[in-house]
Amino acid sequence: MVAIEAFTKDLQAYLNDDQINKIRRAYYYAEQAHDGQMRKSGEPYVTHPLAVARILSAMQMDHQSLMAALLHDVLEDTKVDKLAMQEQFGDTVTSLVDGVSKLTHLEFKTRAESQAHNFQKMAIAMAKDIRVIIIKLADRLHNMRTISAMRPDSRRRIALETTDIYAPIAGRLGMHDLKVELEDLAFAAYHPMRHKHIARAVKVARGERKQLMEQVKESLQHCLDQVSLPGVISGRQKHLASIYNKMQEKNKPFREIMDVFAFRIVTDNVDTCYRILGAVHHLNMYRPVPGRFKDYIAIPKANGYQSLHTTLYRIGSGVHTPIEIQIRTKDMDDIANHGVAEHWFYKSQNERAQGAHNRAQQWVQELLEMQKRSGNAMEFINHVKHDLFPDEVYVFTPKGMVLALPAGATPVDFAYAVHTDVGNSCISCKVNRRLAPLSYPLESGDTVEILTTPSAKPNVHWLSFVATAKASSNIRHALKNQATDDAVKLGRRLLSQELGNLKLQIDDIDKMRLNSYLKHNKLEALDDLLANIGQGRQLAYLVAHALTTESNDTAQQEQHMGSMQIHGTEGLMVKYSKCCHPIPGDSIIGHINTGHGIAIHRTFCKNIKDISKDKSKVMPLIWADTGDLEFDVSLDIEVTASRGIIASIAAGVAQNDGNIEKIDVNEKDARISNVNLNLTVHNRVHLARVIKSLRTLPGVIRLSRC
């Protein structure tokens, strides 16, 4: 009784009496529902939802969020059902509770898979109302504050999950204060001894430099007084998890991490922010560090964060400690600390709070899009983690629009950030008006232009260098569709060829018989059947005879098999085996690999020798005209270990229009080396020309094709 009355009294600062009464009613409902239930700490269970509501009230969240916080465990942990809650508190509060409630414990192969599915469902709930995640974060914060009651193994598991998912989400939503506390509590739970030692060292270091901090603060205050600019100056303390992470990532000792003075100046408006920046840059005895100024007011971070950042150093003293300064307005400071949560306090009166809310909603919608495109929950959560740790770069479109991308982003990431269709049809790019590779790492200030064509398709190689989850998930989705399209095309060719041997075409197949065959094989359409054939799940000659003859005599069916032509451009469902590197002119055979289409081998490849005995798994192939297409081939060359021999080999390949992909050199002994040469050629005749040229080189002892 005392606890709820004290809580509701605090709420009078920003909520009206009717809203407070609704919150009080939600508390009593939760208290009755959880009657008899206790936490592991021995306290009545209702103390937990009340604590969660207190955390949200400190952010001045709306009354519906506070009601949902008080009720958030009622649906799962008590006999109250959703309908009863709707009758008592309405659809909005019930929907929030339903989104926040701990999800049903499903059976999965691993705990990681279970967590991935839970987060996937939470992302869908977030898309309906972003307050779900804010309440969930407050719930996690109180659980972390009381985690000492848990077993050590549970503490480590929950701490790791907090570090990997919940703290980064808080950061992505701009909720800095909550993020910092989650990280520190997780650090203390996962590394209790390291946390204890760093906390002790920080206390000593802060005591040692207290006088220096006061001197710098006085200098800054004197500077503001001289130019009559208003501003509240405060020192910023690095939190323990941040210190530990920087020691790990940068491999620096504790002293170097701590030897940075950090101050924040909060003022009245944007114009004053820039005036203060000019004033501190002209401080006596202090000079700005080149390249360390960042303007996040003109170009806010993706989470809505705005501030001016600069770094000063002191002239003419033995102290080389950098002084980091952040300059921002009061509402920028509130949004930097509470992020999207500020929206419900300011409502629509504040553009920056509204902007932070809109950016958060956009990110959640992108999460939802990724969730739809991901093949499974684990793939989705990996995309999310990929998206939660961005150091940002700011690049421009040709029309001057600014896009924020994570550090290491490439033009492909930029293309997908503009629009999914731009990314899917991207063929090349210009960075600062010059042609650049699609893997080029972008830097702040770059202007990027994407060149597209409707016939272009994403390349699987892009996955090795893209930095954004949006690009990665869209590329994978497009490749899946591309693989299906390629399978249908290949299946159509294979079935058409077999029907051609029977002097028929696909259109000649009896429709009733086709529908009956599709139904029998649990397929919905002809394209599904063709995709199965292209992927090697069903054999074209068996399907052809099943659709055209009454007999299923396998011996009779096999005699109709003919050779299929290969052009070199069949797509993902036709692959050239790396074990034997077939090229035009070679005698070839196809291995029908279930689920993966056709793998092309040279007929005498040792890897196909045993498989070729099973006629159902192989098919004869012949080369069609491949034009100027290039194919990989590998050569083994034994050479004398002499100066310039590798350069001579490279020159010999180039003179014959070959293209070297890779050279590996291994010493056999002091006089002889083995060279493995990977190159591309047009066909067998072209390869013969290259080999003939290399054999004439002085120093080449033996040469053979792998």
HEC profile for 48-91?
HHHHHHHHHHHCCCCHHHHHHHHHCCHHHHCCCCHHHHHHHHHH
Residues 63 and 99 in one domain: yes
Q: Which of 590, 623, 656 is the last residue of a domain?
A: 623
Q: Is 430 in a helix, a strand, or coil?
A: strand
Does residue 357 lie within any of the structural domains?
A: no
Does residue 278 lie within any of the structural domains?
A: yes
Q: How many structural domains is the chain composed of? A: 5
In the chain, % of residues over pLDDT 70:
84
pLDDT of res. 277: 93
pLDDT of res. 363: 63
Q: Which residues pair with 672 in a beta bridge?
A: 640
Which of the two residues, 436 and 101, has the higher pLDDT score?
436
pLDDT over 90 at 193, yes or no: yes
Closest CA relative to residue 26, chosen from 102, 92, 122 = 92
Residues with active-site annotation: 76-77
pLDDT over 80 at 139, yes or no: yes
Does residue 499 lie within any of the structural domains?
A: yes
Bin 478: left if φ > 0, else alpha if -120 < ψ < 50, else beta: alpha
Residues 179 and 226 in one domain: no
User: What's the mean pLDDT in 184-204?
Assistant: 92
Residues 561 and 489 in one domain: yes
pLDDT of res. 172: 77
pLDDT of res. 142: 95
Does residue 332 lie within any of the structural domains?
A: yes
Residues 169 and 210 in one domain: no
Question: Which tens digits make up the pLDDT trace of 35-47?
Answer: 999 988 889 999 9
**What stretches of 207-340 adopt beta strand conformation (E)?**
232-235, 261-267, 286-288, 294-295, 308-314, 323-329
Question: Which tens digits make up the pLDDT trace of 272-309?
Answer: 999 999 999 888 778 888 878 888 888 888 777 889 99
Q: Is 231 in a helix, a strand, or coil?
A: coil
Does residue 351 lie within any of the structural domains?
A: no
Which of the two residues, 227 and 169, has the higher pLDDT score?
227
Q: Which of 194, 214, 248 is the last residue of a domain?
A: 194
Continuous H helices in 469-605: 469-501, 511-520, 526-534, 540-548, 554-558
Residues 66 and 10 in one domain: yes
Average predicted confidence (pLDDT) for the chain: 83
Which of the two residues, 538 and 396, has the higher pLDDT score?
396
User: What's the mean pLDDT in 570-585?
Assistant: 84
Whether the CA torsion 690, 692, 698, 703 is positive or negative: it is: positive
pLDDT of res. 560: 45
Question: Which tens digits make up the pLDDT trace of 200-228?
Answer: 988 888 787 788 888 889 999 999 999 99
Residues 533 and 644 in one domain: no
For residue 541, name the pLDDT band (cuts at 50, 70, 90).
Answer: low
User: What's the mean pLDDT in 428-438?
Assistant: 91
Cα–Cα dist 230/272, whole Å = 8
Which of the two residues, 665 and 375, has the higher pLDDT score?
665
CATH code of the domain in which 671 resides? 3.30.70.260
Distances (CA, A) of 298 to 294, 295, 351, 445, 623: 10, 6, 14, 13, 60
pLDDT of res. 688: 94
Phi, psi of 484 (to 5 degrees): -65, -45
Does residue 359 lie within any of the structural domains?
A: no
pLDDT over 60 at 557, yes or no: no
For residue 141, name the pLDDT band (cuts at 50, 70, 90).
Answer: very high
Does residue 29 lie within any of the structural domains?
A: yes
DSSP 293: -
pLDDT over 80 at 589, yes or no: yes
Residues 639 and 612 in one domain: no
Cα–Cα dist 21/215, whole Å = 50
pLDDT over 50 at 109, yes or no: no
Question: Which tens digits make up the pLDDT trace of 605-657?
Answer: 888 887 777 766 787 888 988 888 889 999 999 999 888 888 899 999 989 98
pLDDT over 80 at 371, yes or no: no
Residues 28 and 165 in one domain: yes
pLDDT of res. 66: 95
User: What's the mean pLDDT in 546-566?
Assistant: 57
pLDDT of res. 677: 92
Would you give the distance in Å from CA 268 to the centre of its chain?
38
pLDDT over 80 at 517, yes or no: yes
User: Is the pTM here over 0.95, yes or no?
Assistant: no
Q: Which of 159, 194, 229 is the last residue of a domain?
A: 194
Which of the two residues, 563 and 504, has the higher pLDDT score?
504
pLDDT of res. 354: 65
For residue 180, name the pLDDT band (cuts at 50, 70, 90).
Answer: very high
Within 10 angstroms of residue 455's Cβ, the number of other Cβ atoms is 7
pLDDT of res. 588: 92
Asked if residues 304 and 352 have their Cβ atoms less than 8 Å apart, the reply is: yes
Residues 42 and 188 in one domain: yes
Bin 304: left if φ > 0, else alpha if -120 < ψ < 50, else beta: left
Does residue 95 lie within any of the structural domains?
A: yes
Closest CA relative to residue 203, chosen from 144, 265, 254 = 254
Question: Which tens digits make up the pLDDT trace of 446-465?
Answer: 889 999 998 888 988 898 89
Residues 189 and 203 in one domain: no
Residues 308 and 331 in one domain: yes
Within 10 angstroms of residue 61's Cβ, the number of other Cβ atoms is 26
Which of the two residues, 384 and 577, has the higher pLDDT score?
577
Tokens of 213: 């901090």
pLDDT over 70 at 124, yes or no: no
pLDDT over 60 at 390, yes or no: no
pLDDT of res. 554: 43
pLDDT of res. 118: 59
Question: Which tens digits make up the pLDDT trace of 318-344?
Answer: 556 788 999 999 988 888 887 766 655
pLDDT over 60 at 492, yes or no: yes
pLDDT of res. 63: 93
DSSP secondary structure of 629-681: --EEEEEEEEEE--TTHHHHHHHHHHHTT-EEEEEEEEESSSSEEEEEEEEEE
pLDDT of res. 556: 45
Q: Which domain holds residue 682?
A: 631-705
Which of the two residues, 90 and 282, has the higher pLDDT score?
90
- Could you identify the residue written with the tokens 């560090």? 289
Residues 107 and 75 in one domain: yes
CATH code of the domain in which 269 resides? 3.30.460.10
